[in-house]
Structures are given as structure tokens and as C-alpha cells.
Amino acid sequence: MVPKPKTFTRFRELQAEIVRSGAAIYRDAEGTESLIIDYPYSIRYIHSYAEDSPFFLALANGELKGSKCTDPACGFVFATPRSHCMVCGHTTKWITLPLKGKVHSWTTCHFGSEAFLKETPYNLALVEFDGAGSLLMARLKDCVESEIYIGMPIEARFDASPKFSIADIWFVPSKEGAPKPGASRRTG
């Protein structure tokens, strides 16, 4: 009889066991057990960014591009590449987004794809920018879950060795004038 793989409730210990033996069991807070295996998977994918290309070329140069509807009656601003406006269907043009924004919402990921295993657990934030009507999802680094709050001022950082990937950008808490939760804030 094959022995049952070891059971873990913490990701880092589970990950180490999978690397060591190839399999482990994760038990969640409700007691559900999931068998998790080492599953090497590799594919070379020649990928075209097509109309989104300027977005990734800009990231490599420390610039964040969004898109703005060309219909003056609409003018919706997206914080992501969009060839056409999701509100009215018109074409869009590229705009440059500010490199400072704030946390609209966030989550902490205790499991990650291979690219992010080394930094797991990591935070994913939906970033809100002044003047943009949609949000950008990006990693939020240099802070732990308990320090993050909705409305937290954050700013962009870019990979010094860009890979033309969405992982070329992430955000960190803004150092200057970051208000603490509950502190009085000026509005308007």
C-alpha cells in the first residue's frame, strides 16, 4: 500500500515537501484535504501582443499606458489596454497614466503560479488612478497584509530588467504623506 503523503496547513512547508517528495496534502481551515503534486509543465509560446504592444513597450521604459475613448461625448478612460471602448464601442487612443494611485481593493495570494512562487504569499491589488474609470490589477510589494487598506496611496515600480510582461510593473506604498487608517484626512 502506498503511504499517504504528509499533510500541511501552511503553504511554505507544503511547498518544501512537494519539492522534496513530489506530493503532499493541504488541509484548509474547514478540514478539506487536497492532494497536491509536483507537475512540471513547459511550453514555448510565441505570443503576439498585437494592439496591446504599446502598453508592454511602455512598461519596459517605466511608463504606464491606459486608453481613452475617442468619442468626445464619452471619453471614458481605461487603466488597461482597450482597442475599443467598453461603454460606447468607439475606438480608443493611448494615454499616459499617473504612476501614483491608491488601493481600491486587494487580496493576499497564498498559492501562486510558477512565476510568483518565490514571492508567495504575495498581495494583488486593484489600483485606482485619478482620472481613470477602470482599475489595474498588479502586485503590491514592500508591505504585509495587515498594513494594507482601501484608499492606501501607492506608487509604481518597474523591473530594471523588463521581460515585456505584466509582471514588469508592481506597486509599493507611497512613502511621502501616506495617511494611516483612522488618521484625519483632508478631503476635496
Interface residues with Zn ion (CB under 5 A)?
A: 69, 71, 74, 76, 85, 87-88, 90
Nearer to Zn ion, 9 or 91 (CB): 91
DSSP at 139: E
Q: Minimum Å distance from CB 101 to Zn ion?
A: 22
Q: Which residue, 121 or 133, has its beta carbon nearer to Zn ion?
A: 133
CB of 70 to Zn ion, least distance (A): 8
CB of 90 to Zn ion, least distance (A): 5
Residue type, 64: L
Hey, what's the cell of 136?
489595474
Residue closer to Zn ion by CB (options 72, 182) is 72
Match 501616506 to its residue by C-alpha cell.
178
Q: At 119, phi and psi to the nearest 5?
A: -105, 10
Query: For the chain, where are the E strands, in sequence order?
Result: 7-8, 23-27, 33-37, 65-69, 77-78, 92-96, 100-109, 122-128, 136-140, 153-158, 169-173
Nearer to Zn ion, 19 or 88 (CB): 88
What's the min distance (Å) between Cβ of 83 and Zn ion? Answer: 12
